């Protein structure tokens, strides 16, 4: 389907140029052509927001609607650690990796059950951080 669509686009472009040439129009912009003609520089519109009833919405209106639609601010959850993070055991939901930080080697437990990242104070003191 792609080659045929590309051919159709080319045929449409040729048809449009032919129409414009036959009617004395600029083949680029479609305005009336003369020797002094210069195509108008057009600005690029990246996005236009349209409301439920077809009205064009300003950036301020869109921002206000986004604030209204946003969920209410919730209290931050307490940090939660999985049992595997506390015990250091590996399960299908955790991965244990070795990493080098500076000149020190550390074990990393990547755990999808914990909400935050933690590092040992003794390891930080060895790094002199």
Q: What is the Cα–Cα distance from 30 to 18, expressed in whole angstroms?
A: 11
Contact 20, 30 (CB under 8 A): yes
More confident residue, 17 or 49: 17
Which pLDDT value is given to residue 104?
Answer: 82
Q: What is the Cα–Cα distance from 126 to 117, expressed in whole angstroms?
A: 19
Contact 83, 98 (CB under 8 A): no
127 Cβ contact list (under 8 Å, min separation 6):
101, 102, 104
What tokens were used for 123?
Answer: 């390891």
Is the alpha carbon torsion for 107, 105, 116, 110 positive or negative?
Answer: negative
Q: What is the Cα–Cα distance from 104 to 124, expressed in whole angstroms?
A: 10
Average pLDDT of the segment spanning 27-40: 85
1 pLDDT tier (thresholds 50, 70, 90): very low
Tell whether the model's pLDDT for residue 4 goes beyond 60: no
Average pLDDT of the segment spanning 98-109: 82
Of 127, 128, 126, 106, the C-alpha closest to 117 is 106
Q: What is the mean pLDDT of the chain?
A: 75
More confident residue, 33 or 63: 33
Q: What is the Cα–Cα distance from 97 to 108, expressed in whole angstroms?
A: 5
Q: What is the Cα–Cα distance from 16 to 112, expressed in whole angstroms?
A: 58
């Amino acid at each position: 389907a792609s080659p045929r669509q590309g051919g159709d686009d080319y045929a449409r472009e040729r048809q449009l140029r032919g129409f414009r040439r036959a009617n004395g129009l600029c083949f680029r912009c479609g305005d009336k052509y003369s020797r002094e003609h210069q195509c108008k520089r057009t600005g690029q519109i990246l996005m236009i927001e349209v409301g439920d009833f077809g009205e064009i919405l300003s950036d301020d209106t869109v921002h206000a609607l986004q604030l209204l639609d946003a969920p209410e601010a919730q209290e931050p959850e307490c940090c939660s650690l999985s049992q595997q993070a506390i015990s250091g055991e590996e399960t299908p939901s955790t991965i244990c990796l070795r990493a080098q930080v500076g000149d020190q080697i550390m074990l990393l437990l990547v755990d999808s059950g914990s909400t935050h990242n933690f590092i040992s104070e003794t390891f930080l003191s060895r790094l002199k951080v």
